[in-house]
């Protein structure tokens, strides 16, 4: 088969959508069609529901879906990461069993990595999986688990060997959440929402065939998951736009999105809502205050330069260049924006900053900004860790001496978790 040009692919997908897209189909029914045709996940390999096309072509095909108003395969949440990890490291059985139901949205997934004792130091996980009577028996605790309360499966990083160095003793499993040994409890945040869970394992069971890749390969596999998480960090938001047009597929998709996103309503607030600043300055009559103007200008500068740096990084990648330093800077920059935005919103709100809930301006959105922005510099790797990465990997400064990788994990000092 010869390489198709962009124009050829575009007209092909357009024709296919014209012939097949029907908003009156059931959501699952339509997505099965998508999986069958390869247009649902064109960047996936042809043997697994895709067309083996490049990311660039994938974006172009997305445009065609948008143009046609066609619903896509399920893309929200951790199921994306599950799919990417299974495609890269899963067995044929894993692919057969899980991929299709990920695309149709019938299964939800969660990521069981962070623990109370290991956050920045993810490889310090102490949740254990022990082989007993030909089954893996899991004990321990995970935390900050998004979606665990409605997920069917979890991507689990657990320690299987305590006598080797920390990164070498981890293994990666697919865990059935809906079993007795798994207890999911909501975790409440300082902003009052409970968007995450703590997951407790008491002799939870995993059949041996649900080990992903080899025993002791857990860190390598987890790295794939994390890389995809970073790459698609804004995916959750980008694809989560329900339309209000009539049609069964639209209605079912809107329901799916509402259900999935309900605990994350405050997410835009944690980034600082720079978009509201001018409007608020106008409403509060402070737009002409020279002090306020200076602070707003500083915030907008931070926010714009963050966006432009990200766009430079993306453009460089699209040209096939190696990822430049701009990529690692985005996360750090976002923290600065969030902190500054909280400051500006406080300044604009004056006495109203003392209020919360629906007594706070914009139906509580302002208060939510003020108590949610601290998450930005912690979630997904703290600012301090980002700075270590930038200085050591980008700037190539000498690495911090480590005391935790040169000995069996058993001997590494760690937190005492009850």
Partner 1 sequence: MNFNFTEEQQEFRLVLRRFLEDKSPTTEVRRLMETDEGCDPEVWRQVCQDLGLTGVHIPEAYGGQGFGFVELGIVLEEMGRALLCAPYFASTVLAATTILNAGTEEQKVTYLPPIAAGDVIATLAFTEDNGRWDNEGVEMTATASGDGTSGDSYTLNGTKSFVLDGATASQIVVLARKPGSTGDVGLSLFMVAADADGLGRRKLKSMDPTRKLARLEFKNVSAALIGEEGGAAVPFARTIDQAAVCLANEMVGGADKLRETAVDYTLLRVQFGRAIGSFQAIKHKAADMLLEVESAKSAAYYAAEALDDDTEDWPAVASLAKACASDTYMQTAIVTTQMHGGIGFTWDNDTHLWFKRAKSSEAFLGDSHHHRELMMQRWQD
Ligand X SMILES: Cc1cc2nc3c(=O)[nH]c(=O)nc-3n(C[C@H](O)[C@H](O)[C@H](O)COP(=O)(O)OP(=O)(O)OC[C@H]3O[C@@H](n4cnc5c(N)ncnc54)[C@H](O)[C@@H]3O)c2cc1C
Binding site for ligand X (CB under 6 A): 111, 113-114, 119-120, 144, 146, 375, 378-382, 384-385, 388
Size of the site for partner 1 (CB under 8 A): 53
Long-range contacts of 378-384 (CB under 8 A, 24+ apart): 379/144, 379/270, 380/229, 380/230, 380/233, 380/331, 381/120, 381/331, 382/120, 383/332, 383/335, 384/120
Q: How many CB atoms lie within 10 A of CB 36?
A: 12
- In the window 154-183, what residues touch partner 1 (CB under 8 A)? none
Judged by beta carbon distances under 5 to 8 A according to partner kind, the member of partner 1, ligand X, none in contact with residue 391 is: none
Judged by beta carbon distances under 5 to 8 A according to partner kind, the member of ligand X, partner 1, none in contact with residue 111 is: ligand X
161 contacts 169 by C-beta, under 8 angstroms: yes
C-beta of 21 vs 144, nearer to ligand X: 144
Nearest partner of 279 among 364, 344, 202, judged by Cα: 344
366 contacts 360 by C-beta, under 8 angstroms: yes
Judged by beta carbon distances under 5 to 8 A according to partner kind, the member of ligand X, partner 1, none in contact with residue 396 is: none
Closest approach, Cβ 202 to partner 1, in A, equals 21
Cα distances (angstroms) measured from residue 148 to each of 73, 143, 168, 225, 341: 21, 10, 27, 17, 31
Determine whether 99 is exposed, middle or buried from the number of CB atoms within 10 Å of its CB (0-12, 13-18, 19+).
Answer: buried
Closest approach, Cβ 85 to ligand X, in A, equals 14
C-beta of 47 vs 403, nearer to ligand X: 403
362 contacts 301 by C-beta, under 8 angstroms: no
Q: Which residue has the tokens 């065939």?
A: 209
Tell me how far apart the alpha carbons of residues 154 and 34 are, in angstroms, rounded to a whole number.
25
Judged by beta carbon distances under 5 to 8 A according to partner kind, the member of partner 1, ligand X, none in contact with residue 367 is: partner 1
C-beta of 268 vs 374, nearer to partner 1: 374
Q: Which residue has the tokens 């339509």?
A: 30
Closest approach, Cβ 63 to ligand X, in A, equals 29
C-beta of 152 vs 382, nearer to ligand X: 382
- Name the maximum alpha-carbon separation found in the chain: 73
* Interaction between residue 126 and partner 1 (CB under 8 A): no
Judged by beta carbon distances under 5 to 8 A according to partner kind, the member of partner 1, ligand X, none in contact with residue 354 is: partner 1
* Interaction between residue 413 and partner 1 (CB under 8 A): yes
Judged by beta carbon distances under 5 to 8 A according to partner kind, the member of partner 1, ligand X, none in contact with residue 413 is: partner 1
Binding map of partner 1 across residues 236-255, x = CB under 8 A, - = no contact:
--------------------
Interacting residues of 358 by C-beta distance below 8 A, sequence separation 6+: 364
How far is Cα of residue 361 from the mean position of the Cα atoms in its chain? 30
* Interaction between residue 290 and partner 1 (CB under 8 A): no
C-beta of 396 vs 402, nearer to ligand X: 402
C-beta of 104 vs 126, nearer to ligand X: 126
> Footprint of partner 1 on this chain (CB under 8 A)?
114, 116-121, 124, 143-144, 187-190, 192, 291-292, 339, 346-347, 349-360, 367, 370-371, 374-375, 377-379, 382-384, 387-388, 400, 402-404, 412-415
């Amino acid at each position: 088969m010869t390489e198709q040009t962009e124009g050829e692919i575009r007209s092909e997908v357009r024709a296919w959508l014209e012939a097949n897209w029907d908003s009156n189909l059931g959501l699952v029914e339509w997505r099965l069609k998508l999986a069958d045709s390869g247009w649902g996940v064109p960047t996936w390999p042809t043997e697994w529901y895709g067309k083996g096309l490049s990311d660039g072509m994938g974006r172009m095909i997305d445009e065609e879906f948008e143009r046609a108003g066609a619903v896509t395969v399920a893309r929200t949440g951790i199921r994306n990461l599950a799919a990417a990890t299974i495609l890269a490291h899963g067995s044929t059985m894993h692919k057969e069993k899980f991929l299709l139901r990920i695309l149709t949205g019938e299964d939800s997934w969660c990521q069981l990595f962070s623990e109370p004792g290991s956050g920045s130091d993810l490889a310090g996980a102490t949740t254990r999986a022990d082989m007993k009577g030909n089954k893996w028996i899991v004990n321990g605790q995970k935390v900050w688990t998004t979606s665990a309360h409605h997920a069917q499966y979890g991507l689990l990083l657990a320690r299987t060997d305590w006598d080797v160095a920390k990164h070498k003793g981890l293994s990666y499993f697919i865990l059935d959440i809906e079993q007795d040994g798994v207890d999911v409890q909501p975790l409440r945040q300082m902003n009052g929402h409970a968007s995450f869970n703590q997951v407790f394992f008491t002799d939870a069971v995993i059949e041996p065939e649900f080990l992903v890749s080899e025993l002791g390969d857990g860190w390598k596999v987890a790295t794939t998951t994390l890389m995809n998480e970073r790459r698609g960090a804004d995916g959750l938001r980008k694809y989560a736009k329900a339309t209000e047009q009539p049609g069964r597929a639209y209605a079912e998709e809107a329901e799916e999105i509402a259900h999935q996103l309900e605990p994350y309503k405050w997410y835009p607030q944690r980034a600082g809502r720079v978009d509201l600043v001018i409007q608020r300055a106008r409403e509060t009559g402070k737009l002409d205050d020279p002090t306020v103007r200076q602070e707003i200008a500083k915030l907008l500068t931070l926010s714009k330069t963050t966006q432009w740096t990200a766009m430079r990084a993306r453009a460089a990648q699209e040209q096939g260049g190696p990822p430049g330093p701009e990529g690692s800077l985005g996360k750090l920059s976002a923290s600065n924006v969030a902190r500054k935005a909280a400051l500006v919103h406080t300044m604009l709100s004056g006495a109203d900053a003392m209020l919360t809930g629906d007594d706070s301006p914009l139906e509580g959105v302002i208060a939510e900004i003020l108590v949610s922005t601290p998450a930005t510099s912690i979630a997904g790797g703290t600012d301090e860790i980002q700075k270590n990465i930038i200085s050591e990997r980008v700037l190539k400064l000498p690495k911090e001496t480590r005391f935790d990788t040169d000995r069996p994990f058993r001997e590494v000092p760690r937190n005492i978790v009850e």
